[in-house]
Structure 1
């Protein structure tokens, strides 16, 4: 039990009550340089705000300036260079007042009202109706604030909130280094804002009230920081009756009144009620643990691909003696248990969910938006894209933040395990000698400056997100640990006390996670690699960062590159590329010679089209190569990286505007739960089964199709796929090499079940004996016919039919477009894309989108390697 004394306006733990609302409109702001009045004066109702400008809250100063047309879009072209950087202007330039008028009357009896701020960057002073709420300035981007404002509410019900927000200090010099000169890491906040090799600096360093502001109303008792733990003993199967799971639950009960309050803390789960009678003394907070509950035959939560993501609604509440609900919290519960073990063959750890081994196929995530413009819809779309890649884990990188609860909610929904770094990175925090940094390694190794604030922030963020079933791993930092006193406190005290159910990794490429026997720092390689590398070159057994490229297609490039800069990179014989300045500013990473086998790029569109072939091949081969050595070389891999929070051109499966590219669908193919694949070096065909159950009576077929469409069956055989395994079945190298030597050939691998239903199809394009795709360059125009019909609101089924005696319809991109402008509708989720259709066969693709009110029925655009663009009406 924990008792703490409360002050009237002092800091108290943050809560989300049932009776609450968000203050997210009607804010006004002004730079401190223009306002001479103090906070008590500004927060008085008679202070005029007529000259103040509209403010975006939640948001940053830069977001407000952009929305007020004071700065150009920093995501477009070279516009970011036109915006004043805080390092040059000084901090006052981006120090702003934010003011909000709202209606709320003081409650009757013992009712309480709280003001909650979920995130301010970096420090702030808060005033309400002429009174200062925080006795001392609040510091820390990752520390929530909550204030009991009951006695400060206006009798008239008209209230004014004024928040003075100060930027980080120091702001760091954006000198081109990782995190600029590194000094941004002296604070407890974001590190990427001073620039990185995948983003330009954010000029205000994300100063602002960047996360939600809410007003919460309760009775005498405020229920805060509820905690629900599920224990699932034994090895479980997805189907069938389950043995009981154990539910452990607790909460903190806060009594700000001058008298003791007696009542019942209870929760209801799937019709079952668990309760405990308690008394909370005046002006204290009491932590209460309820009795363990044996939950019979629970529906379990599983990672993506392995089983359903069952979620229960748990209602926890405090009921006073009089039978009145004082406060209530609703928690989404996924019944699951995550454990880890050591694989002595790979020399790395592996993850188990409900007792079953899961081969980790993950993606690295930075942040949803570099200017912190977060939304439930965007989180849902981005995590859904990761689900569509057939991944099962997202690692949240340490130079950013502990993600928002809405992100985890999406991960819960789509079955994405989360590997969560805390905000430390070796680049800024002294791991390496770096001439770009302002201070030496010994000094940087002690970052951040305020260790107490860091630990307080960690504890708060753990409490905020610990109930989400998707959260699987805590990590001390990116490629380095925090200073030793911080590490020991987090590892040995905070995590065990406040969570205690998850694997804690000291740093992202720790030997305790993946024993580094190959030298180097345990991450990479990055960039274009020969496909053979993924299959034949052994890397780190649980690789936290390995990746490649990610230029999107031409329509995506047009969104942020001015027309005059849409110039294709030119690969030179000396091994270097000539790249336009805007491409370079947006962090283009070289495709170099990889485009050449398809023919030298004629222009930017041709380059982007051919880049998609490279994208697809790279990411399919990456995941196939790792999967081919599951449990022998590897226990998992995490791609660097799968998304961009800015309009960068590297490491992304979809662009900032949520438009997918071929990286996503190459990964979608290579990461299939049940997948047949071809090793380009050994010529062996393998079958991967990621699932928990043996797959029997599978028909594996291998066929080739030449450039004219002639189909030749090489072989077919019945096979069995053991659980969580990869096994080679067919040696086809000599046959394939012989068929491909003149012009190249298509290789199609298919898996069929005993009912002759096709479970998987994987089509490779094999180059000629010189490594050139000479046959592709001569392909005849496809005879593909395309029809589209609406099968439900927001769902369109597209049928692609290729007749016999026709060439293969190769690498077709589907898009849903506005019928008037032919511009793509975003986001759209495709069951597959960049699809190829064999002669005398058809493919059905489902497009899922959110129709807007009054929107015309869209059209479907399709174009491919040997198919000119067509626009198809939807029936």
Structure 2
């Protein structure tokens, strides 16, 4: 044993030493110092422009990664399209022609001439839509490089300047077909003739993006290696059997393969190896000159693995896996470090529900998901923003994001965040029923038969699919591939994806042919296989049976007044007015332009809105109730009616006023916290239709010896204990306990009532609690409108850098302090600091109750002196200083 141990130490030492010597491997991003100019203003060729002697001093600074529009906005050549009606002031490519948004982008950079055996690569991760590339007076591509969703790279070793000075010039052309933004879904639909983004021609939740996102929109990097380069490493993890998160684990199987590219004119031999959890696995390889080779390792058994689980079911443990090639000269030619989660995905059809169910590590997972478009309509993508948005989904107690087919396969940084927070990904490929011909549509230029054949270039679609699959397939979070939104791609594309490409490149995940396919969910109720949308009576979520794995079901999402002020001019902050006779809403033009969706009679149940601020606050009550009710209603029927639901939608890439749990500026609204409550892993809840008190347990652990406590509080704060009983619930199930409908109807009849549900542990501390505000016998909240002001006590103190503890306390003889919004604000300006994460929000403090909320503001970096703002239904708006002692 001592001998084996010493040999292992020696091997590890040699591996470490081999990594410390070798070629000068570097990789860096070209993300600053770019300049650009409209191609129509220049008569020079790319050969001339890429010469460092050609002056570009008068050119505009360019945003790369970015688009023409982000550059024009940066240089104040156009107004902010996210504010008011500004987007109408920007010229649309459909009217200007493609040349107007055809631009040269130029970047000077330093890269010294290489040493013997070194290779230097120029990598592009995304250009929309086609381009020609020049470096130091040389054209790198023989024909125009086309494809928004194709990565491409060039070996530039022989083109580097001898003095170390280099110039890159890229001529970027817009999409081949810009599409007419005529107000239809995807405009006239012809935007889908490209292999690209469809939303850019406009949708019912977004206005058109005027340049259709033309530009070098994703990362550009310079990479230096030895003679052999490692690309497209593929890692598969297999976890046999049915597992639990806790306790020792039986081994998992790790399968590793990779591509090796020898760019040199001589044969290369060496050792390909990877390190995982302190162990090194190696294999000798030989590569012919100027050749590529695929190499697979033997299966490796990872002992007692730390498993990756979806949010709510277990931890999200991740491993670093380091892959390198060491040549015979003991030089590291190339290395890659990847982060993987050890888990196994499977799927089977649930005959009882009539839908697929997803399993992770042998355990079935009830899907609670949100539909995602894209982080920013102008492709201003960042690690920080991805992390914040995905974290919000974690905080909503969701476990899946569906990336919608009218956008794109998301970037690796998005998947990094999903890996980190335990969010499974349902990834659509490019296409939508609206543009691609599922329905008749008078707004479309072509008929359904023509649209059914979109895009024009099927070969490019398949090339792009192969490339993007390779880009993201190692992420633990990626769970489902989908052929398209509400329609399959053309038959030849579908066949190639299903029968050839995915089996070859990524054969461990479920492929569904389109987002509401019968193979996913038997839509025996008729219809499109998704919905309903918009405001719903809460009874609908509980008692109306919809599609058993619903890919799109949702409601409203107006943010509060502080959010509205960020993008609506003061003169347009006018609340909508709903006419109950005509059933029509009078809406301000800016609200209408930003896609306001009506709240109908829901606001007036809380009293007629006094102004836009009052309207937006009352909308939060509706938001909270709608999304809590949606999550509870679906969860109450899990494994009986449903195997999952996916909300349409949880975020906006623009300043829209619908379908969002937080606004574009990353400010959460009450939708988020309604879901946070209604989707929590162990949850106590009330069926508003039959009065049934229920619990749902979305964990693998049975809960025993809990005390179920049911109380009511009237509008004056008087407490009434209805009942308390011991309760238990098994794992991954919902359970009915008893009905209190007759009691609640009687108590609430006059002016409504608060209903409090709690599950207590053996120390009498709440495990989970839920508070409902019940309407009176007319369906109105008359009692809320008469409530007295509360005397809520509030304190805030810093408990750690970037963490603030807010304590809210209500006196025993007070009225309830209802629906309090907590915000971290600039102490001087009073404006909210963003993004900030709250352990809970829109909270009610009952008489004699104390609650603590943790505010995570690490992303703010302490740049502002901050305070806590509190605003509630019957709580005086005020600022609370933060004690830093």
Deviation at 1:725, TM superposition (A): 0.6
Which 10-residue stretch deviates more, 535-544 or 752-761?
A: 752-761
- Report how far residue 239 of structure 1 moved: 0.4
Which whole-Å CA distance do the structure 2 matches of 1:472 and 1:781 have between them? 49
Separation in 2, partners of 1:566, 1:606 = 11
Moved more, 371-380 or 751-760: 751-760
Matched, 1:216 2:220: no
* Structure 1 residue 19, shift from structure 2 partner: 2.3
SS in 1 for 2:117: coil
The correspondence of residues 825-844 of structure 1 with structure 2, limited to 5 A, is 825-844=833-852
How far the C-alpha of 1:756 sits from its partner, in A, is 2.0
Counterparts of 1:280-295 in structure 2 under 5 Å? 280-295=287-302
User: Matches of residues 125-144 of structure 1 in structure 2 within 5 Å?
Assistant: 125-144=132-151
Q: Secondary structure at the match of 1:592?
A: coil
1:869 is aligned to 2:880:
no
Structure 2 match to 1:656: 664
Matched, 1:365 2:383: no
- Asked if structure 2 preserves the Cα contact closer than 8 Å seen for 1:220 and 1:326, the reply is yes
Instruction: Map 1:462-611 onto structure 2 (within 5 A).
Output: 462-573=469-580, 574-611=582-619
Once the two structures are superposed, the pairs formed by residues 689-768 of structure 1 within 5 Å of their partners are 689-768=697-776
In structure 1, distance between residues paired with 2:448 and 2:58: 48
1:424 and 1:480 in contact (8 A); partners too: yes
Which of the numbers 850, 863, 873 marks the counterpart of 1:855?
A: 863
Match of 1:204 in 2: 211
Counterpart in 1 of 2:639? 631
Deviation at 1:755, TM superposition (A): 2.5
Shift of 1:169: 1.2
Equivalent in 65, 69, 89 of residue 58 of structure 1: 65
Does the Cα contact within 8 Å between 1:119 and 1:141 map onto a contact in 2? yes
Structure 1 residue 260: deviation in Å? Answer: 0.8
Tell me the CA shift for residue 602 of structure 1.
1.2
- Distance in 2 (CA, whole Å) between partners of 1:679 and 1:492 is 45
Give 3-state SS (helix, strand or coil) of 2:256's partner. strand
> 1:771, 1:208 → 2: CA distance?
53
Contact 2:833 2:860 in 1 (8 A): no
Moved more, 548-557 or 319-328: 319-328
1:619 aligns with 2:653: no
Question: Distance between the aligned counterparts of 2:381 and 2:845, measured in 1?
Answer: 39
Name 2:175's counterpart in structure 1. 168
Structure 1 position 853, deviation (Å): 5.7
2:398 matches 1:391: yes
CA distance in 2, matches of 1:698, 1:299: 30
Number of aligned residue pairs: 859
**RMSD over aligned Cα atoms:** 0.8
Cα distance in 2 for partners of 1:851, 1:537 equals 42
Report the secondary structure of 1:210's partner residue.
Answer: coil
Aligned partners of 1:697, 1:295: CA distance in 2, in Å? 38
**Per-residue deviation, 1:18:** 6.6
Query: CA deviation digits over 1:183-224, x for unaligned, max 9?
Result: 110011000000000000000000000000000000010000
Shift of 1:88: 0.3
**How many angstroms apart in 1 are the aligned matches of 2:25 and 2:508?**
27
Deviations 1:227-261 (A, max 9, x none): 11100000001100000000000110000111110
Compared CA separation, residues 575 and 449, structure 1 to 2 (3 A): same
1:681 and 2:689 correspond: yes
Paired position in structure 1 for 2:4: none
Residue from 104, 107, 117 that aligns with 2:111: 104
Aligned to 2:385: 378
1:616–1:663 CA contact under 8 A, matched in 2:
yes
Structure 2: runs of 5 or more not aligned: 1-23
- After TM superposition, where is structure 1 displaced by more than 3 Å over at least 4 residues in a row? 851-854
Query: What is the match of residue 437 of structure 1?
Result: 444
CA apart distance, 1:852: 4.8
Does the CA contact (< 8 Å) of 2:51 and 2:136 recur in 1? yes
1:142 CA displacement: 0.2
Residues in 2 aligned to 1:314 and 1:68: alpha-carbon distance in whole angstroms: 42
Look up the SS of the partner of 2:880 in the other structure. strand
What is the DSSP-based 3-state SS (H/G/I as helix, E as strand, rest coil) of the residue aligned with 1:868? Answer: coil
Q: 2:861 & 2:699 partners in 1: Cα distance?
A: 41
Q: 2:674 aligns with which of 653, 666, 670?
A: 666
1:31 matches 2:38: yes
TM-superposed CA distance for 1:851, in Å, is: 5.7
The two structures have a TM-score, normalised by structure 2, of 0.97
In structure 1, what is the equivalent of residue 100 of structure 2?
Answer: 93
Question: Partner residue of 1:10?
Answer: none
Whether the aligned pair in 2 keeps the contact of 1:18 and 1:329 (CA below 8 Å) is no
Distance 1:591 1:162 in 2: 51
Deviations 1:385-440 (A, max 9, x none): 00000000000000000000000000000000000000111110111111111111
- Alpha-carbon separation, structure 1, partners of 2:748 and 2:25: 65
**CA distance, structure 1, for counterparts of residue 330 and residue 746 of structure 2:** 82
Q: 1:707 to 1:334 in 2, by over 3 A?
A: same
- 1:150 paired with 2:129, answer no
Alpha-carbon distance, 1:757 to partner: 2.2
| Unaligned runs of at least 5 residues, structure 1 | 1-16
2:697–2:734 CA contact under 8 A, matched in 1: yes
Query: TM-score normalized by structure 1?
Result: 0.98
Deviation, structure 1 residue 759: 1.1
1:808 to 816, 821, 824: 816
1:265 maps to: 272
Deviation digits for residues 27-62 of structure 1 (CA, Å, limit 9, x no counterpart): 000000111101001001111102211000000000
